[in-house]
Structure 1
Amino acid sequence: MIAEDILVRAGRMVSDTERVRWTDADWLEFVSDGQRQIALMRPDSASVIETIALVPGSRQTIPEIGLRLLDVIRNMGESGQIPGTPISSVKRGMLDSFDRYWHVVPGPMSVRHFAFDDRTPRHFFVYPAIPFEGSVYVEVAYSRTPPECSATTATLALADIYAVPLLEFVLYRAYASEQESTVAEAKAAVHLERFYASLNIKSQVDAAVSPKLPSEAS
């Protein structure tokens, strides 16, 4: 899906197919903001899996373009090319109780566990700590910040399934830009409500059909 697909649909809904009322630049700004808002609310909408190199010590950071860590999956060897052992998620407090020196005492050239805190979404800790010599790579899943949409032919960062909430956000921003009109203000509120509702419904459906372990099933 490209930006033009959203612009065409939005133009029809606001009776502005010639883009006189709002220019291409306006619409592209709305699309860019909409993608970023969706990525904030649904990090999985812009998720990627990549192999990254870890730095010495226990504290690690996802790539600069990342919004938040989703998972640390497995070791990828000293070259980043060899799939290795899985990495499990644990509470940082558990590691603190188990080994109070785990932040400062490096281990072998592989990771056994990682700890993550929602309050610092771009950072995580690995156990054991990474030594100063050698290279350690792991495979991670993280949410990426959607890039600025600078052309109508640009491919959108989100999957096609997010076309409806993205369209609703774009329409909300279009009407919200007409600050002197009470009618436009009311329409903006409607589209914003639909935007939130569509994302919430998708979250509920995803939770209902997501593969679960027997212990996680309700």
Structure 2
Amino acid sequence: MATTKVVSIIKRVQTAVNDATGIVWTEKELLEHFNDAIRDIVLHRPDASAINTVFSCKGNSSKQSLPSEALRLIEIIRNDQGRVITEIDRSTLDATRPDWHQSEPSASIEHFVYDERDPKHFYLYPRPGGDVANPHIIELIYSSCPEEIVIPEQSIKDGSDTTTIPLDDTYANAIIDFMLSRAYSKDLGSAANANRASTHYQKYGNALGVKLQADAMMMKEGK
């Protein structure tokens, strides 16, 4: 759970741009940049807002729809009863079992099919049994976009708001660099500000990339 306050992030940005009183960049404007940063991070790092939960399948249907707040599927783990569910390429099922969409409903799902081009849906094989009253349950992980943070300007000015960032604390520096890039982009007519905007956006991208590489290394070492 994050402990970094949103107002603390905004205050740090104000200090960096030497505008502690919000004359050039208002608190409202910086909060908008903050929310944009969260959306951009989630876009590039879906795991930043990963939700691990149980999912009630639509009975007798191979096609399933993710919850409305989901951005994309990350992984399907297992049937509620314990059997793992593995990903399989759709072309493989199409070639070996061309009638798999009409498979016999089962209490144990074996595979799932997912296509990034249709991020809100996935397919299960065999088809899950159950009905509305007693649906087949699976465990899955999906990425979601946190709700937009809304804080009154006065609460930002006096630092009284206690809302924390909706991502892990490790993303705090990346959020700040994104916000600084947006702030300096306000006046790209200035060569200095244009350079600052570019530098901070590069640092933002590097931060996400470095974290991605570090996560991959940890996964590799854990195998």
> Normalized against structure 2, the TM-score is what?
0.86
Q: Which has the higher helix share?
A: 2
Question: Which residue in 1 is equivalent to 2:51?
Answer: 48
| Within-5 A mapping of 1:190-201 | 190-201=199-210
Shift of 1:182: 3.3
Q: Partners in 2 of 1:141 and 1:86 — Cα distance?
A: 14
Corresponding pairs, count: 208
User: Which of 91, 94, 99 is residue 92 of structure 2 equivalent to?
Assistant: 94
Q: Deviations over 1:118-144 (max 9, x none)?
A: 222222110111347441111110111
Match in the other structure for 1:4: 7
Percentage of matched positions with identical amino acids: 31
CA contact (8 A) 1:70 1:141 kept: yes
Q: What residue number does 1:136 align with? A: 136
The 3-state SS of whatever aligns with 2:62 is strand
Please state whether the residue corresponding to 1:141 is helix, strand or coil: strand
Distance in 2, Cα, partners of 1:120 & 1:61: 10
The 8 Å contact of residues 55 and 137 in structure 2, kept in 1 or not, is answered as yes
Give 1:10-89 correspondences, 5 Å limit: 10-56=13-59, 57-76=61-80, 83-89=81-87
3-state DSSP of counterpart to 1:73: strand
Q: Aligned partners of 1:144 and 1:42: how far apart in 2? A: 11
Give the drift of 1:188. Answer: 0.8
- For residues 154-182 of structure 1, give each alpha carbon's deviation from its aligned partner in whole angstroms, at most 9, with x where no partner exists: 32111000111111001011111224433
Matches within 5 A, 1:173-188: 173-188=182-197
Residue in 2 that maps onto 1:148:
148
Normalised to the residue count of structure 1, the TM-score between the two structures is 0.88
**In 2: Cα distance, 1:207 partner to 1:63 partner:** 28
Provide structure 2 residue ranges, at least 5 long, that are not aligned to the other structure: none
**What is the match of residue 126 of structure 1?**
124
Give the distance between the partners of 1:187 and 1:39, measured in 2 at CA. 24
C-alpha offsets along residues 19-73 of structure 1, whole Å, 9 cap, x if unaligned? 2221221111101000110111111111110111111311112211111111111
Mark the CA change 1:135 to 1:91 in structure 2 (over 3 Å): closer, same or farther.
same
